[in-house]
Structure 1
Amino acid sequence: MIGRLMTMTAHPGRGGELATVLLTVAERLRGFPGCEIYLISQDGADPDTVHVTEVWRDHASAQAALATPPPADGPAPSDVLALLSAPPHRTDLTVLGGVGLPTEGRP
């Protein structure tokens, strides 16, 4: 399994809007093959900072999600980028396990 931590900073006062758009993205990923976790969190100390915690079965699943065109009613990646005051920060992870993750295929 692979994971990603994405940290995004919205333009001042627009963190709630960013979180709402990302929650819509998360809902569209529900049931997407290989998507184990897609969690949206707003920073408790800075509501304009939004974190996305992702867990994917493998790299191919994550890439397939990125390659899927957004639905006609949005949101598109450009909608997310328009809300950001700086480029997102991405940390790639090797997921070892934990609560809420499937256990098949792991020691």
Structure 2
Amino acid sequence: MSTTTRVGRIMTFTAKPGRGDELATIMMQVAEGLRGSWGCELYLVSRDAESSDTVRVIEAWTDYASADAALATTVATHADIDLNDVLGILAEPPEQVDLDALGGVGL
């Protein structure tokens, strides 16, 4: 077992009814913007199997500073990603759960 604590994060985004496709598209753009970002070990965008308007993102980072910096930089430097557009699509505020990622397959 590693003594380094990785950051795990589960984000849940719920779009207004019928806008799940738009939300998923934007979250995939965010994922593309994070490719090669230092500290990003996993950024998996998935749609909830029972609700097409719910998108979940599972993340693994080397540390909190990397996670916060990379996400802020990606949104700030990609003109096709507008935080206000994301907020306008959402039916409710996103839910964020932070975890101490201990390891497993792929980490």
Q: TM-score range by the shorter chain?
A: 0.7 to 0.9
Question: Is 2:87 the counterpart of 1:71?
Answer: no
Unaligned runs of 5+ in 1: 102-107
TM-score by length of 2: 0.88
Unaligned runs of 5+ in 2: 1-5
User: Residue 43 of structure 2 aligns to which amino acid in structure 1?
Assistant: Y
Q: CA deviation at 1:79?
A: 1.9
Cα gap change, 1:28/1:97 in structure 2, threshold over 3 Å: closer, same or farther?
same
User: Residue 56 of structure 2 aligns to which amino acid in structure 1?
Assistant: H
Q: CA deviation at 1:70?
A: 2.4
Question: Is 2:32 the counterpart of 1:24?
Answer: no
Q: Higher helix proportion, which one?
A: 2
User: Residue 87 of structure 1 aligns to which amino acid in structure 2?
Assistant: P
TM-score by length of 1: 0.88
- State the distance in 2 between where 1:4 and 1:76 align: 21
Q: CA deviation at 1:71?
A: 2.8
RMSD: 1.2
Q: CA deviation at 1:76?
A: 2.2
Q: Higher strand proportion, which one?
A: 2
How many residues align? The count is 101
- State the distance in 2 between where 1:72 and 1:33 align: 17
Q: CA deviation at 1:65?
A: 1.4
Q: Which runs of 4+ in 1 moved over 4 A?
A: none
Q: CA deviation at 1:72?
A: 4.8
Q: CA deviation at 1:51?
A: 0.2
Give the percent of matched residue pairs that are identical in Structure 1 and Structure 2: 55
